[in-house]
Amino acid sequence: MPLTDAILRGIQQKIGGLNLISGVDEVGAVIESADGIARIRGLSSALNGELLEFPGKIYGTIFNLEKEEIICAILENHTKVKEGAWVKRTGHVIGISVGRSMLGRVLNPMGDPLDGLGPLAAESVAPLERPAPGVIDREPVRVPLQTGYKVVDALVPIGRGQRELIIGDRQTGKTTLAVDTIISQKDTGVISVYVAVGQKESTVVKLRHQLEKQDALKNTIIVEAPASAPAIEQYLAPFVGCAIAEYFMYEHKKDTLIIYDDLSKHAAAYRHISLLMRRPPGREAYPGDIFYLHSRLLERAAKLSQALGGGSMTALPIIETQGNDISAYIPTNVISITDGQIFLEADLFNSGLRPAVNAGISVSRVGGSAQIKAIRSISGTLRIDLAQYREKEAFSMFSSELDKETLRQLRKGAVMVELLKQDKNNPMPIEEQVVSIFAGVRELLDDLPVERILPFEAALLKHIRAKYRDVLRDIRKTQELPAELAETLKNIIENFKKEFLDVAIVSH
Ligand code: ATP
Ligand code: MG
């Protein structure tokens, strides 16, 4: 007998003749069932993450494999699973039926439609857990994913395949930023998946309506596990959304965008399940593997290599902070997993600065290389202007005599801060953003009163859209702003400003 066989036989005898290979038709028994958690004995060869079947076509997924017992979370109708019931292995991991018919639909994490628009046609099944693509399977992030917000696209640009965290206290505009990013994709061919975890159903209804009104629902799928849904559904929702995005990325070679709104509530759902399973609680009572939960989810965002079709998944996870505290456990974890973060602040929001992005501390580690040249060339100056403004602003409060240069910087900074404000549901195409920011950084707006800046911007863009369509087209097409075009743009803006100011004087 070869040595390896002898060793294997020895091991099998030692552990009691466990059959390591087959056993899919094994049947076990439920020894305890409460709160959606079942403790099971007798399925000695079941695997972690495997789907189990209970009487009445009820399913559960394995969370813990212990020495004698298996702990399983029941997916639906958990009250019908009683002590003493039989339970079978299925040999499958948990998956979701996917297909193109999901576009424009709202579904729960079990794949059931919630919008009353009839059943969904399945084309294949996507596993909820799947290894992230490796280094060879990826390409660098190079193509931009524009949010339509000047402050983000200019200062914290996002690239296709990137993971950018949106973080802030409650009611600071997190969801609005994410949803407007979806709206910006309506003509880009990007497929969006919006995952709502632990939110009010009415919020999701409004959001769906907004997407429909803006003609962006057609490319969007909403996965919803509201606050009233069982913790297991809230736990599964991001994985379901991710599996759907992966289906479009791998099988249809599409660029996809996924929003997890939000991972704080997802972490809370996981903590809830883990405590019911009597797993040892760690920091802030979260289980020890909470970091792994979010890292394995977010690692699946990628820009795929050409060999794999070149699709991508851009992930925008959202985290809610308490009192701006980003050093709490879940925020620090997710910050360390993502490629940058957009900080939204309640103080800024309440002072009327919307979107309330703190540009000083928001970063994007990979998006810069995906930014189009036209915007990159002007955003460098913008960043410096804003930094100087912040520095001098505080200082100017204590000093009455300011030199000319400081006054100029303060004036320019105030103009730029005003110019970066943007109303919700009003995403701006990148070529218009270029015009706007160009006017600001070239100091063409410095002689306008601050409250006239946004009205001027709107009027200017309207004027250019009507009379200089070719300028916008050239920026869009070439993605550049060469000196000649910049000069033309400058003249257009200056001439229009005269007109605008004349009208303003007459009307006063
Ligand atoms: P929550 O913590 O409740 O999830 P949130 O951070 O997701 O809140 P939103 O729901 O996006 O915040 O926005 C809060 C409110 O601010 C909403 O009424 C929204 O319409 C408004 N708002 C958000 N962004 C803007 C903006 N850029 N301009 C004007 N209003 C905005
Ligand atoms: Mg929100």
- The tens digit of pLDDT for each residue in 405-451 reads 888 888 999 999 999 999 999 999 999 999 999 999 999 999 999 99
Give the percent of the chain with pLDDT over 90: 80
Q: What tokens were used for 289?
A: 């593997």
Average pLDDT over residues 201-222: 96
pLDDT of residue 380: 84
Q: Where do the domains of the chain lie? A: 25-93, 97-371, 377-507
Q: Please state which CATH class domain 25-93 belongs to.
A: mainly beta
Confidence band, pLDDT 50/70/90 cuts, at residue 404: confident
Question: Which pLDDT does position 13 carry in this prediction?
Answer: 52
The verdict on whether omega for the bond into residue 119 sits within 30 degrees of 0, i.e. cis, is no
150 has pLDDT over 90: yes
Mean pLDDT lowest among 21-30, 93-102, 242-251, 276-285:
21-30
Superfamily of domain 97-371 in CATH is P-loop containing nucleotide triphosphate hydrolases (3.40.50.300)
The CATH number of 377-507, from 1.20.150.20, 3.40.50.1580, 3.30.2290.10, 3.40.50.150, is 1.20.150.20
What's the rounded Cα separation, in Å, for the pair 449 and 183?
32
Q: Quick one: which of 63, 69, 125, 64 has its CA closest to 95?
A: 125
- Examine the pLDDT at 22 and tell me if it is beyond 80: no
Region 335-360 average pLDDT: 95
Give me ligand 2 centre to Cα 483, in Å.
Answer: 42
Confidence of residue 15 (pLDDT cuts 50, 70, 90): very low
Please name the residue whose Cα sits nearest to atom 31 of ligand 1: 424
pLDDT score at 355: 96
* 364 CA to centre of ligand 2 in angstroms: 21
pLDDT at 11 over 90: no
Task: Please give the number of the atom of ligand 1 that sits closest to the Cα of 354.
Answer: 27
The pLDDT assigned to 8 comes to 46
Residue 401 in this model has a pLDDT that exceeds 80: no
pLDDT level of residue 6 (50, 70, 90 thresholds):
low
Residue to substitute in 149, 152, 169, 171 for testing ligand 1 pocket (most ligand atoms within 8 angstroms of CB): 171
pLDDT at site 25: 73
Would you say residue 171 has pLDDT above 80?
Answer: yes
Dihedral pair phi/psi, residue 130, rounded to 5°? -155, 140
Virtual CA dihedral for 51, 238, 159, 333, nearest 10 degrees? -100
Helices 290-298, 329-337: crossing angle, 10 deg rounding: 30
Please give the distance, rounded to the nearest whole angstrom, from the Cα atom of residue 474 to the centre of ligand 2. 37
Maximum separation of any 2 CA atoms in the chain, in Å: 104
Residues noted as catalytic? 365
In this structure, which residue's CA is closest to atom 23 in ligand 1? 173
Q: For residue 68, what pLDDT band results from cuts at 50, 70 and 90?
A: confident
Share of the chain above pLDDT 70, in %: 94
Ligand nearest to the CA of 174: 1
**What integer pLDDT is reported at residue 18 of this predicted model?**
41
The closest residue, in CA terms, to atom 9 on ligand 1 is: 173
Average pLDDT over every residue of 486-503? 92
CA of 212 to the centre of ligand 2 (A): 18
Name the residue with the closest Cα to ligand 1, atom 13.
Answer: 173
Of the ligands numbered here, which is closest to the C-alpha atom of 147? Answer: 1
User: Which ligand gives the minimal distance to the CA of 172?
Assistant: 1
Name every protein residue with a CB atom under 6 angstroms from any ligand 1 atom: 168, 170-176, 320, 354-355, 422-424
Residue 100 half-sphere exposure toward CB, CA atoms < 13 A: 4
